[in-house]
Structure 1
Amino acid sequence: MSEMFATESLATESAAGMAPQGMLFVASNVDAADEADFNQWYDREHVEERARIEGFISAARYEAVQGGPKYLGLYRTESLGAFTSAAYKAAFRRQTPWSVANLDRMRQPMRRVSEVTATVGQGSGSWLAVLPLAQPEDPLALVDLAGEVGGQLSAQPGFVQSYLLMPDAELSQPLPKESLTDRQLLPILVIESSAEAASEQALQEAAKRLGASTQQAARYALKWKLFSGEVA
């Protein structure tokens, strides 16, 4: 495997004394009548607001092309510590009326705060495949396997990056309207690609290797992404 596609896992990060990056995963549907204002709020306030929080690296928006929920936000952080920081807590104390209104408009929401593990590749792909996995008996073994799968996928044209999200139970507090019935904090494999066909091929191969069902997967297209360093 080339240096470009070096793999990081929980085990190697721990051995090196490195804290893994974190990611906030927020997905939801929105009633059609509210979508215009919801998208305007996300694009003109919420993404930038989150990107400004100390410890956040980037904030990205996606829209489903197959599966769902329809809207997905991914917020990458330097570590899970960003979600317990004073800056993060302050962001919730300073909610604008626009934010309060649109957070209330989320339907079937899903919130997960996860460690980003088994990272292979670099950069951002315009196509995203989101594959939920079964709860593992051995989390470290799953991380290693996800890294191996990512390494194999990296040889395919159109592959950009893959990573495994391992939810943190304490930090993954549900959104107000999130259903608690049979709520499971499952690992999620995310694959970023530069083309739709490449994304689908990678998803099919990853699901086969990991014993997962593509019927549970969602496919998303990137709407836009903002890095904290770009915020004026």
Structure 2
Amino acid sequence: MSERIATEATENFATESTARMSPHGMLFVASNVDAADEADFNQWYDREHVEERARIEGFISAARYEAVQGGPKYLGLYRTGSLSAFTSAAYKAAFRRQTPWSVANLDRMRQPMRRVSEVAASVGQGSGSWLAVLPLAQPEDPLALVDQIAEVGGELSAQAGFVQSYLLMPDAELSQPLPRESLADRQLLPILVIESSAETASALALREAAKRLDALPQQAARYILKWKLFAKELV
């Protein structure tokens, strides 16, 4: 094999390896809803929105959660193969063809929060029925924070009921605000997410993580899983 061909083969292998190792992306959408609109909002999410998002090319799963501590009350997490899913033609087309039901309920969101993030420092696997969400301070060294979160996740993984933990690092360009999202004090902070199999495990993991990371527990929230849909389940 010539030197040029060998070099090209090495470069192609490196490119393919990087693509395979590219981190997952995640869309994090949280909001409150007026009591009078909750019934229709929940039906829209359950009957239309979750499946609609899960069908977008590049999306892996779509899940709904409801707060049991802190807030906002409703949370949607949408995992993708990579951040490129949020710049794809399929994702843009989904916004161009929104149904009247979607338009109405997106406008019903109160104190909404939309973040498109890279998923980093993942520890564990699977989906837990209990979710802890802990906003963190803006780091001076993002790479050091990723290492720290991986270390914390390793410590938490020894606890009973631990399922998975990961860090969401918001992308400023992709995290466009929702229509009613306030821009006055909007901060794109890193978010630690901890998934557990039991409520007591979730509460304990959140306390331990907040203490270990010198974060403020009062800014955290805990959620219970309502339901989750994987793209591979769709027919």
Instruction: Give TM class, smaller chain.
Output: over 0.9
Which residue pairs with 1:53 in the alignment?
56
Alignment of 1:76-95 (within 5 A): 76-95=79-98
What secondary structure does 1:48 align onto? helix
Amino acid at match of 2:214: G
- Distance, in Å, in 2 between the alignment partners of 1:210 and 1:23 is 22
Q: Unaligned regions of 5+ residues in structure 1, if any?
A: 1-13
Which residue of structure 2 lines up, in the alignment, with residue 188 of structure 1? 191
CA distance in 1, matches of 2:62, 2:173: 22
Out of 154, 159, 163, the position equivalent to 1:160 is 163
Which SS does the other structure have where 1:125 is aligned? coil
Counterpart residue number, 1:19: 22
Letter of the 1:78 partner, please give it.
G
- Aligned partners of 2:164, 2:145: CA distance in 1, in Å? 17
How much does 1:222 deviate? 0.3
Residue 175 of structure 2 corresponds to residue 172 of structure 1:
yes
AA partner of residue 102 (structure 1): N
Is 1:107 aligned with 2:107?
Answer: no
Question: After the TM superposition, which residues 143-154 of structure 1 pair with which residues of structure 2 at under 5 Å, given as runs?
Answer: 143-154=146-157
> Percent identity between the aligned chains?
87
Aligned residue in 2 for 1:3: none
Distance 2:174 2:57 in 1: 17
**Residues in 2 aligned to 1:204 and 1:130: alpha-carbon distance in whole angstroms:** 11
CA distance in 2, matches of 1:208, 1:139: 19
Structure having the higher helix fraction is: 2
Give the TM-score of the pair, scaled to structure 1.
0.93
The one-letter code sitting in structure 2 at the alignment partner of 1:214 is P
Q: Which runs of 5+ in 2 are unaligned?
A: 1-14
Residue 137 (structure 1) aligns with: 140
Partner of 1:126: 129
CA shift, 1:114, in A, is 0.2
CA distance in 2, matches of 1:200, 1:213: 14
Please give the alpha-carbon distance, in whole angstroms, between the structure 2 residues aligned to 1:181 and 1:229.
Answer: 40
CA positional deviation for 1:182: 1.4
How far the C-alpha of 1:211 sits from its partner, in A, is 1.0
Report whether the alignment pairs 1:62 with 2:57: no
CA positional deviation for 1:156 = 0.4
RMSD over aligned Cα atoms: 0.9
